[in-house]
Amino acid sequence: MTYFPDRLFDDAGSYATAYFEQYRTAAASVDQEALRRAGELVGQVISEGAAIYSCGNGGSAAIANHLACDCLKGIRTGTLLRPKVFSLSTTVELITAIANDISYDDVFAFQLESLAKPGDLLVAISSSGQSPNIVKALTWAKDNGLRTLAMTGFSGGASAEIADVSLHVAGENYGVVEDIHQSLMHLLAQYTRHRSLTNPSDLGRQKF
């Protein structure tokens, strides 16, 4: 079995053609029923006034932080929704303190222990699905009454098995997987906002 890229390309244009083909194939692998459930889950959590927590490492941390922006600020615009959204990947002082004094495996679960309550939602983003701190956070969340949504790639790992809803990308390239996770974050935020617009006639008339 080979993984993209499995050869050298003559220029960035030809590489892009192959890359975007990988993207299209991987994006098509995301289960539509899982997406339906994810959309309903995010909307339900927000409508109940529960909190959404996101987490990830590396590039996935950037997506977790971006999720907090689009789901808090973005969803509010033009709606009556008031999402409560927090990224557990954002505060380097707290993350490094937990990692140094306790364990890096605890950097997300430890925060949830102080902040989260039953009925909240944890969105865990991990390309491999196997990162110990992600798996530990999902396990803690499940054991303590939180709802859980995982975005994974590659084999999906333990994260895909633990989560209530698994948005799995059947891709073997980190860039492609992370690109699709970013798209999934955007589409969930935009879908939640659009279905709750106070003036639906704005659809098609404004840049969303």
What CATH code is carried by the domain that includes residue 158? 3.40.50.10490
Residue 103 pLDDT > 90, yes or no? yes
Once rounded to an integer, what is the mean pLDDT over residues 147-164?
97
* Residue 65 belongs to some domain of the structure: yes
Q: What is the per-residue pLDDT for 40? A: 98
User: Is residue 168 within 8 Å of 30, Cβ to Cβ?
Assistant: yes
* Residue 20 belongs to some domain of the structure: no
* Residue 18 belongs to some domain of the structure: no
* Residue 50 belongs to some domain of the structure: yes
Spell out where the chain has E strands.
51-56, 84-87, 121-126, 147-152, 165-168
* Residue 170 belongs to some domain of the structure: yes
Residue 153 pLDDT > 90, yes or no? yes
User: Is residue 108 within 8 Å of 88, Cβ to Cβ?
Assistant: yes
Once rounded to an integer, what is the mean pLDDT over residues 100-108?
98
DSSP three-state, residue 95: helix
Q: What is the per-residue pLDDT for 15? A: 96
- Number of structural domains the chain divides into: 1
Residue 1 pLDDT > 80, yes or no? no
Q: What is the per-residue pLDDT for 202? A: 79
* Residue 206 belongs to some domain of the structure: no
Once rounded to an integer, what is the mean pLDDT over residues 135-146?
98
Once rounded to an integer, what is the mean pLDDT over residues 96-119?
98
Share of the chain above pLDDT 90, in %: 94
Once rounded to an integer, what is the mean pLDDT over residues 31-59?
98
Amino acid at 12: A
181 burial via Cβ count (<10 Å: 0-12, 13-18, 19+): buried
166-200 pLDDT tens trace? 999 999 999 999 999 999 999 999 999 999 999 98
Q: What is the per-residue pLDDT for 208? A: 67
Residue 25 pLDDT > 80, yes or no? yes
Once rounded to an integer, what is the mean pLDDT over residues 3-26?
96
**Domain membership of residue 64 as a residue range:** 31-197
* Residue 9 belongs to some domain of the structure: no
* Residue 11 belongs to some domain of the structure: no
Residue 67 pLDDT > 90, yes or no? yes
